[in-house]
Structure 1
Amino acid sequence: MRPESVREKDDPLAIVLKAAKLGELNRPLTWPTMALVINGRSLARPVTGVERYARMMIAIAAKEWPDCKIAVPSSMKTSTKAFGCEVIRIPGNGGHAWEQVLLPKALSKNDVLLSPANTGPLRVRRQAVVVHDLAVIHHPEWFDRRFAMWYRFLLPRLVHRVDRVISVSQTSLTDIQRTLGVPLEKSSVVHPYSMIEPGVVTNAGIGSPYYLIVGSLDPRKGIDSAMAWYASLDRPAFKLVQVGRTSTSFASNVVPPVPGVIRLDEVNDEHLSALYHGALALIQLSQFEGFGLPILEAMQHGCPVVASDLQVFRELFGDAPIFVDPTDHARMNEATQELSQPAQREERVGAGRIRATHFSEARMTEELHVVLDPLLGC
């Protein structure tokens, strides 16, 4: 006998039996639908590797989950029409306060947030955040002091707060797991691909043979090492073209002018494609990277690569690049001499093209589904 104090309306069994009598159990059960919202703060920034990756991820998410929404600051002038999904404009200028305070307030309890560009709101647990690398943790001296202080506060807390952590290579993800203690089961790699397709314009307008550097004036990019090598040459028969702008996020990295060096602050994708197509090689002498997207872009264009010998480059690109010590000018000269031999150059070009096929939109799409489907209840 049940105690009389237990009323029928409080008894789960009684509720189920009553529902069965009324035929209500024949109705399909419905559960709250999780909705994908993308943190579009990065769309308002100039395009570097981080922003290019974010655009790839947003484009894929918009295609795979067409009901998703992109949350952007109301001050943003960048068009989002290309993504083809609903845009939520949240008042604000897109700074850290916008991301940490205003963005969370605009979300509903059933929203899953995708933050594709290194930061996200601490208040939102149901979130997948992309962290490209931990350069700011290991080498704060490379960054603006206030920038480094904020990121060194935010990242260790954010990766433990959110449901999923994404990085761009296994090397970078392993570093995040070991350094910040992120569990294996909540972390994944989503590899980028090259959005810079080989174009019909192949003349970059340089007018003479050249080696190419693609990267912001960031101390870790090794641009000063490339400049020092070039300056050490006696009447070189080629120029050095550096594509990339300065940023307030980084510590001052003033590289003095070097005769024969052409600097291009910003180029569009068509011009960058032509630069890759016409270069003798890409020179990438980074000290620290999460991926190294210019290497992939160069390989897709049939441009050989001379790169610093980093573990992440070995993981992603195998033996396709010529690996060097950025401070060893003699080794740099050997690399350029090797590329001047047609047979050896073609061997490097072929290896690079093969390696580039490992990274595709289809692969990125599949890896993103692995991360988001469980969060969205798919």
Structure 2
Amino acid sequence: MTRRRVLVDLVFYTGTKGGMESYVREVYSRLSADDPELEYVAFASSELAEAGAPWFPGAVVDSGVRGDDRVAWARAELFGVGRAARRLGADLVHCPANFGPLRSRVPVVLTVHDLLAFRHPEYVPGSYSRVLRMMIRAAARRARRILTVSRASRDDIVAHLGVPRERITVTPLAGSTPAGSTPAGSTPAPARRVDQLLAVGNRMPHKGFATLLEALARIEPAERPFLVITGSHGADPLVPAVDRLGLGAHVDLRGWLSGEELERLYAESTALVFPTRFEGFGLPPLEAMARGCPVIVSDIPVMHEVAGEAAVYVDPTDPDAIARAIRSVLDDPLQRERMAREGLARAAGYSWERTAQSTRAAILTALAG
């Protein structure tokens, strides 16, 4: 049997882009370099080529493009990936991060994580929103199959991109617990003077961290938990809000953390708060639930899809409602124990292995025409 070559578009990969990078690592680390039907080749950013990708099941080719250079990256997505597919003799291209080539002589499988730029362009800076919409629409139009991470995102793709539902495969993400680690709910957290909340994500405005800070300020200082917000790059735009609200002693704004550092925070924290106004999936709550950490999440459809009955739901635009939810969880240890149990059970229903095998199956379907 002749193996078919799959070019995996990893030009976007810098090591600092969060959920999409977790997705591609988890999927491709579970696909085999010895697959009798498929051979995988990564067309990588210079950052990834320099750092190495031991999780990838095949050769890694340096694109010569830095993923943190938006202009060079966009040009490579639109034009470089298609040329690389021809040069490297690919039979199919998998684009796992929303974008793909304008032209390709071979089939394209595209993963669309979310349609933030379509649903909420006000959350995307300036003209960048128009660029994203153009790139996503062009990639989706040419893709033979589209993968997405939730039913909510599938419905958005049908509504905003006009893609027939039968061309879309839903491949949910999963919450991973690193080997040798212990779920947070199974052992007592380290002793601390006050409860600690954790919030994880970048600083795009739809993440809702400004509203979370407003909520924290509405809790009496004597009862106020300590809040750690991770995921900033460079100067943190939340600093002025922390200063204005007088929360300096109650908030720790953290940058990009290693897996070990984030693991420690999950173990130390009483709950995760995820006040997002829009997501394609929402990986941090699932990661928290996989560790037995209770979660307080936004009352939006995709969060119900991910967390089911295991979470406490809040209006992400209402700081008073968020404050009340925080207090209700912190004041009720029996509720936290129940949430930890139900969260572990919920997270166990998700599997990266299933995601990887669904991805492989979609690639084979696309190759079959």
User: TM range, normalised to the smaller chain?
Assistant: 0.7 to 0.9
**How far has the Cα of 1:322 moved from its partner?**
0.3
**How far has the Cα of 1:84 moved from its partner?**
4.1
Alpha-carbon distance in structure 2 between the residues aligned to 1:273 and 1:196 = 9
The Cα offsets for residues 24-57 of structure 1, whole Å up to 9 and x where unpaired, read as: xxxxxx8x75311111113224131122112222
- Matching of residues 89-100 of structure 1 within 5 Å: 89-94=62-67, 95-100=73-78
- 1:279 has 2:269 as partner: yes
The structure showing larger relative contact order (alpha-carbon pairs under 8 Å, at least 6 residues apart) is 2
Give secondary structure in 1 for the equivalent of 2:85. coil
Give secondary structure in 2 for the equivalent of 1:256. helix
TM-score using structure 2 length? 0.85
Cα gap change, 1:64 to 1:317, in 2 (>3 Å): farther
Gaps of 5+ in 2: 68-72
8 Å Cα contact 1:118-1:130 kept in structure 2: yes
Give secondary structure in 2 for the equivalent of 1:242. strand
Alpha-carbon distance in structure 2 between the residues aligned to 1:44 and 1:179 = 29
**How far has the Cα of 1:254 moved from its partner?**
6.8
The Cα offsets for residues 260-296 of structure 1, whole Å up to 9 and x where unpaired, read as: 1111111111111121122111101110011110000
Alpha-carbon distance in structure 2 between the residues aligned to 1:310 and 1:214 = 18
Alpha-carbon distance in structure 1 between the residues aligned to 2:34 and 2:163 = 27
Give secondary structure in 2 for the equivalent of 1:39. strand
Alpha-carbon distance in structure 2 between the residues aligned to 1:368 and 1:316 = 19
TM-score using structure 1 length? 0.83
1:14 paired residue number: none
Deviates more, 1:322-331 or 1:182-191: 322-331
Aligned residue among 230, 233, 243 for 1:243:
230
Give secondary structure in 2 for the equivalent of 1:69. strand
Cα gap change, 1:255 to 1:302, in 2 (>3 Å): farther
**Number of aligned positions between the proteins:** 345
**How far has the Cα of 1:353 moved from its partner?**
0.8
Cα gap change, 1:54 to 1:298, in 2 (>3 Å): same
Alpha-carbon distance in structure 2 between the residues aligned to 1:114 and 1:192 = 17
Greater C-alpha radius of gyration: 1
The Cα offsets for residues 124-181 of structure 1, whole Å up to 9 and x where unpaired, read as: 2511111111111122221122321211111122111111111110111111111110
8 Å Cα contact 1:133-1:289 kept in structure 2: yes
Alpha-carbon distance in structure 2 between the residues aligned to 1:97 and 1:204 = 48
Question: Residue type of the partner of 1:88?
Answer: V
**How far has the Cα of 1:377 moved from its partner?**
4.2
Cα gap change, 1:102 to 1:208, in 2 (>3 Å): same
Give secondary structure in 1 for the equivalent of 2:12. helix
Say what the alpha-carbon RMSD is for the aligned residues.
Answer: 2.7
- 1:348 has 2:339 as partner: yes
Deviates more, 1:70-79 or 1:357-366: 70-79
- 1:211 has 2:197 as partner: yes
- 1:174 has 2:155 as partner: yes
1:289 paired residue number: 279
1:189 paired residue number: 170
- Matching of residues 254-273 of structure 1 within 5 Å: 256-257=241-242, 258-259=247-248, 260-273=250-263
1:113 paired residue number: 93
8 Å Cα contact 1:216-1:247 kept in structure 2: no
2:133 paired residue number: 152
Give secondary structure in 1 for the equivalent of 2:360. helix
